Amino acid sequence: MSPADLDQMQTYRRELDDVARKSGALVTGVADAEAFTAAMEGQRPTELLPGCKTVFVLGGAQPRAGDWKSPSYRHMETTSTSDRLTAMGNRIAQHIERRCGYYAVTVPPGVDRARRPFLNIALAAELAGCGSPSLAGPVLHPEHGFMYYTAVLTTLPLAADGPLKQPACPAPECVSMWNEAGTTPCMATCPIDEGGCLGGKLEDGRIKERRYDVARCTTRVHTSFIPGFQKALEAVFDEPAKEKRKMILYSSQFTRTLWSMSYSNVSQGQCFECMRVCPVGSKQRDLR
């Protein structure tokens, strides 16, 4: 690439960061499309966009500090979705195609027919230096902690940022707690050996092992979503008594699930308990 081309790419990057920030993104980063070597087959950038060179990642749309304080988990169940970030990604994709003249694809939220993500967006965020994977699962930004991410695949050959040098998880507080009590706040909240989802070990201040019960996490993250709907419908079909079937169909849980599913074009997170106790980014949530 000539010096003039490099200058042009830097200009495009500044423009994209500007569009992202004005759209409400907190962080941005660029990952090299060739760096997704650990991704499952079918989930690599070039498999979704032939000729893809880079992945532009945007993060933001965090729950508000007040949301984390609420004693009602129902509140965040309803307000926390990926749609705002996806809209920001679409703006970036449009800018890349119209202004820069390169192909761009916003990775769709949700899952494909095989119930797999179209692209591992958490991996994209990690490779773009927007954060690092946590023991609990979500990618955490060192300053802001938990947030939503979206990714735009593009043939635009921007310079990649690469992963963070120092991971955000485990936080120093968690390392201290591990050394003292053999657990961390996220694992203490949802311990895999006591009916929860999370387990693992720290060693030398880093994550050494991780165990994660996906199926149980699904019951918590998607309690009132498509998985919950399928389970309830199965219960209805299994129930021979007409009146009992009605009790299930009209129940609060089934009704809540149907409300939730009417937003089925966006990813919904319905459990935040491991993140509620996470110290990464907690200073941003400490208000008056």
Partner 1 sequence: MGFYFVDTALYHQYKGQVLAMSQAIQINYPEHLPPERRQPGFSDRQIAEKLGIEERVVREIRCVAEREFYPIDEWEAALEFKDRACKGFAAGGVAFSTKKYIDRAKADKAAKAPGSP
* Residues at the interface with partner 1 (CB under 8 A): 38-42, 69-73, 77, 113-115, 120, 123, 126, 132-133, 163, 167, 177, 180-183, 185, 188-190, 195-196, 207-216, 218-220, 223, 227-228, 230-232, 234-235, 253, 270-271, 273, 276-277, 279
Rounded to whole angstroms, the Cα distance separating 21 from 25 reads 5
* Sequence-distant (≥ 6) Cβ neighbours of residue 118 within 8 angstroms: 43, 48, 107, 108, 111, 112
Written as six digits, the tokens of 107 are: 């990775």
Between 4 and 204, CB nearer to partner 1: 204
CB 152 to partner 1: min, Å: 20
DSSP category for residue 97: I
Indicate the SS3 state at residue 104: strand
Between 156 and 177, CB nearer to partner 1: 177
Fill in the amino acid letter for 271: C
CB 143 to partner 1: min, Å: 19
- How many of the other CB atoms lie within 10 Å of CB of 115? 9
Query: Among 253, 257, 237, which Cα is nearest to 245's?
Result: 237
* Sequence-distant (≥ 6) Cβ neighbours of residue 220 within 8 angstroms: 197, 270, 271, 273
Between 16 and 221, CB nearer to partner 1: 221
CB 2 to partner 1: min, Å: 34
Q: CB of 179 within 8 A of CB of 144?
A: no
CB 227 to partner 1: min, Å: 6
Rounded to whole angstroms, the Cα distance separating 167 from 210 reads 15
Rounded to whole angstroms, the Cα distance separating 83 from 62 reads 12
Indicate the SS3 state at residue 32: strand
Between 132 and 154, CB nearer to partner 1: 132
CB 5 to partner 1: min, Å: 31
CB 117 to partner 1: min, Å: 13
CB 127 to partner 1: min, Å: 9
Between 21 and 210, CB nearer to partner 1: 210
Between 22 and 42, CB nearer to partner 1: 42
Rounded to whole angstroms, the Cα distance separating 170 from 152 reads 28
Between 25 and 177, CB nearer to partner 1: 177
Q: Which residue do the tokens 């009209």 mark?
A: 250
